Every structure is written in C-alpha cells, then in structure tokens.
C-alpha cells in the first residue's frame, strides 16, 4: 500500500508539471476563473436595468407627473415624451421597451373613485426586461396612486396586502447568483476537459508506452491524473471564489468555505472520473470533444443552474436529482447562499460520492482495457 501511494504521488507530480508546462491550458484555466466569471456576472442580468421608456401624458396632472417621476434609474431610463401616433413605430424600431400612455382626466377619475386604466405597451423581444419590467411598473403606479390618495385623506382599502421579505439576496442582484454558478460551470467543463486531454495526450504523443514499461498499475496512473488535475481546479476555484466573487464582485459568502471545499473536492473526484471514462471511449481528441461537449451541455442544462429543477417536467425530476452536477449545484446554493451546514447537505454529498464511485469504476475498467490494447 505504501508503494502504491508513493507511485500515485510521483505520477501526480508528473501530471501537475505537464499541466503547468502547457501554456494554453493554463491561460484557459486562469481566464475561466477570473475574467470569465466577472464578465458573466456583470454582463448577464436577470433584473430590470436601464430599460427605455416612452410616455404619452394626455392628463398633465399632478398625479401623472408623480407617476412619471417615479420611473427612475437604475431600473428605468428617464421617460421620453413621444407622440401617441408614433408609439407603434418607435416600438417596431426597438427604440423603447415600454410605452406608457396615461389617459385624459386620469387624476379626476381616480379622485372620483372610478377605475381608469394606464396602458403599457411592451416590446417582449426583450424577454427578461419585459416580464419583470411590467410587474415593476404596475407596482410603481399602484404605490404612487395610493400615496397620492393618502395625501388627500382619501383612504383606499385593499382586500389584502402582501408583505414580501426577500431572504439571502435582499436586493435581488443577479450577479450574486450568476458569478457563483459560473464557477460551478467552469469546474464542470474544465474537469472533463483537463483529465480527458491528459489521457488523449499520453496516447497521441506515445508516452503511454513509457508508462507501460514502468512498475506502476493502471489504477495508479488513472488516480494520479484525477488527483493532479482535480487539485489544480480545486485550488484555483477556491481562489476565484474568495478574490473574484467575494472581493472583486462584493458578493457575500454566507456559509463555511471549508465545507464548500470538501464538497468541491468530492464533486471533482466524480467529474474527473467521468472525463477519464469519456477519454477512454474516444480514439482521438476530436472524438473526445464530440463526447465531452454534449455531456457537459446536458449536465449544465439539467443541473438547476440555468433552470430550477422544480420547473422541469415532473417525470424528469427524479432522474435529474440523481446527477452529480444537480447535487453539487444544490449544495453550493445551500452552503454559499443560505449558510447551510453538513447536517443539511449530507444527502447531496453522499449522492456526489456515489456517482464518483460509479464513474471511477467505469473509468478504471476502460483504462485497463486501453492499456492492455496498447501493450
């Protein structure tokens, strides 16, 4: 056993040296966990931001001016007056996302207890902005109208009032979520690529024959590749989480970093084993790419990072929950966003570990077969 561990350690050092000597791969790793995380966090927004608004004020009353003044940055740009006859043309040209039309005698009808309507036309090709922005405008107009009536001692009783308390991300900033999920995404894709590339590189460069004449086992060679590449990704992902996400993007980390490191290590064990298995199925790098890309795409789309598992078809949800990527996304959100401890996330840790055992068994079986054929 001692000799086995020494062989794995030596081979791991060789793998790390080989990885560090590949400038292209190292540049890809550094970019993926720095600028890529930052650009996704700042470039992809789920909330309304700087949405353009056209307004047609046919009332010109105090209430209509109050409604106009309430449409403010950073959610909306200052409203721009347009002629009513040009609204459709402006929306068709994409100059505005929202067009608000306040009818004549709007304030008088409100004070008289009638229910006048404000028309909001929306360019729904800007899907996220259109859906959330409509709700924002409706809430703004309702609140401002109630404040206007209250200022005139006119009570408007609503049948119910919703009190909303947002937990874990009170300002609902999408960068808090997208930056962390981008690290999870990068861990997944790089784990598959790096280990698979290491196996394919040995085969294409002919160095696999050198390993065959050495007194080492297939399990030692395979685990060395998994440990070496997994360790590099683990270290740089934790550095990215601390310095890029927490310091640069100012995203607070609620939970235990040590628990997240343990979870990431177990997940890396699972995904790197998957990458090695895929590499043993492919005869060359192009074929490996054709296997790795759809595998990553399916794992990402079904992980819950892009779409919540609850929103997926009911028949698919039990299958999706067994995937290690889904388990890792779930425990990452629980640890980093909600501050969960190991008593909460142990089922996900167990699921990731079991998946890693299955992938490692498949990878070792195929790797031994590949070495036997090469010998």
- 153 contacts: CB under 8 Å, gap ≥ 6: none
Residue 293 scores a pLDDT above 70: yes
Instruction: Give every CB contact of residue 316 below 8 A, 6+ residues apart in sequence.
Output: 302
Residue 142 has pLDDT above 90, yes or no: no
| pLDDT for 261 | 95
Mean pLDDT computed over 175-194: 92
CA distances from 369 to 112, 206, 237, 363 (A): 85, 17, 33, 10
List of residues 6+ apart from 271 with CB closer than 8 A: 187, 188, 191, 192, 324, 325, 359
CA distance linking residue 188 with residue 25, whole number of Å: 15
In which band, very low, low, confident or very high, does the pLDDT at 181 lie, cut at 50, 70 and 90?
very high
- How does residue 179 score in pLDDT terms, banded at 50, 70 and 90? very high
**Least trusted range by pLDDT, from 71-80, 157-166, 250-259:** 157-166
Q: d(Cα 231, Cα 225) in Å, to the nearest integer? A: 10
Mean pLDDT of 169-185: 88
pLDDT of 240 reads 96
Predicted local confidence at residue 159, as pLDDT: 58
Mean of the per-residue pLDDT values for the chain? 87
163 pLDDT exceeds 90?
A: no
Res 78: pLDDT: 92
What is the C-alpha end-to-end distance of the chain, expressed in Å?
Answer: 25
For the CA atoms of 12, 18, 20, 23, what is the dihedral angle to 10 degrees? -160
Domain ranges within the chain, ordered by starting residue: 2-44+173-374, 53-151
- Asked whether the predicted pLDDT for residue 135 surpasses 80, the reply is yes
Mean pLDDT across 103-114:
88
Q: Which two structure tokens, joined as six digits, stand for 293?
A: 């890309």
CA–CA separation, 247 and 328 (whole Å): 23
Of residues 174, 164, 115, the one with CA closest to residue 141: 115
Q: How confident is the model at residue 44 (pLDDT cuts 50, 70, 90)?
A: confident
pLDDT band at 189 (very low <50, low <70, confident <90, very high): very high
Segment 246-252 shows an average pLDDT of 92
Closest CA to 218 of 11, 102, 368: 368
Q: How confident is the model at residue 152 (pLDDT cuts 50, 70, 90)?
A: low
Distance CA 227, CA 236 (A): 14
The DSSP H or E segment spanning 122 is: strand 119-122
- The confidence score (pLDDT) of residue 110 equals 87
| Confidence at residue 165, expressed as pLDDT on a 0 to 100 scale | 83
CA distance 149 to 112: 11
Least confident of 29-33, 163-167, 210-214, 369-373: 210-214
pLDDT band of 228, cuts 50, 70, 90? very high
pLDDT category at 160 given cuts 50, 70, 90 is low
**CATH of region 53-151, choose from 3.30.1360.70, 1.10.274.100, 3.30.460.80, 3.40.1710.10:** 3.40.1710.10
Q: What's the pTM? A: 0.82
Consecutive H or E run containing 247: none
Phi and psi, residue 124, nearest 5° = -80, 5
Is the N-terminal amide bond of 147 cis, ω within 30° of 0?
A: no
Q: pLDDT higher for 187 or 199? A: 187
pLDDT in tens, 301-342: 888 888 888 888 888 888 888 899 999 999 999 999 999 999
Tokens in use for 25? 């791969």
Per-residue pLDDT at 157: 54
């Amino acid at each position: 056993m001692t000799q086995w561990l020494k062989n794995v350690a030596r081979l791991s050092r060789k793998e790390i040296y080989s990885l560090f000597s590949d400038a292209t791969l190292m540049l890809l790793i550094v970019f993926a966990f720095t600028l890529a995380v930052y650009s996704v966090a700042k470039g992809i927004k789920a909330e309304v931001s700087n949405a353009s608004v056209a307004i047609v004020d046919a009332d010109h009353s105090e209430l209509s001016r109050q409604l106009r003044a309430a449409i403010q940055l950073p959610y909306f740009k200052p409203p721009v007056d347009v002629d009513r006859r040009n609204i459709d043309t402006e929306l068709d040209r994409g100059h505005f996302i929202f067009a608000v039309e306040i009818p004549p005698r709007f304030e008088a009808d409100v004070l008289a207890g009638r229910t006048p309507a404000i028309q909001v036309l929306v360019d729904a090709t800007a899907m996220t902005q259109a859906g959330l922005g409509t709700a924002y405008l409706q809430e703004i107009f309702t609140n401002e109208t109630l404040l206007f009536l209250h200022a005139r001692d006119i009570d408007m009783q609503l049948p119910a009032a919703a009190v909303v308390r947002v937990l874990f991300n009170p300002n609902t900033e999408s960068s808090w979520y997208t930056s962390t999920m981008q690290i999870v995404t990068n861990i997944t894709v790089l784990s598959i690529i790096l280990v698979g590339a290491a196996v394919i590189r040995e085969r294409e460069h002919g160095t696999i024959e050198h390993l065959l004449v050495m007194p080492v086992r297939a399990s030692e060679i395979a685990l060395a590749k998994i440990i070496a590449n997994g360790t590099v990704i683990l270290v740089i992902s934790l550095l990215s989480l601390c310095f890029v996400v927490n310091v640069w993007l100012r995203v607070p980390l609620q939970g235990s970093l040590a628990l997240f490191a343990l979870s990431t290590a177990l997940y890396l064990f699972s995904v790197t084993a998957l990458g090695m298995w895929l590499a043993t199925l492919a005869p060359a790098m192009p074929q490996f790419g054709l296997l790795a890309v759809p595998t990553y795409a399916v794992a990402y789309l079904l992980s819950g990072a892009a779409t919540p598992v609850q929103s997926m078809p009911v028949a698919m949800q039990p299958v999706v929950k067994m995937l290690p990527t889904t388990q890792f996304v779930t425990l990452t959100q629980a640890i980093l966003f909600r501050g969960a401890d190991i008593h909460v996330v142990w089922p996900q840790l167990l699921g990731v570990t079991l998946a890693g055992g299955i992938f490692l068994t498949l990878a070792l079986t195929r790797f031994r077969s590949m070495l036997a054929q090469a010998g």
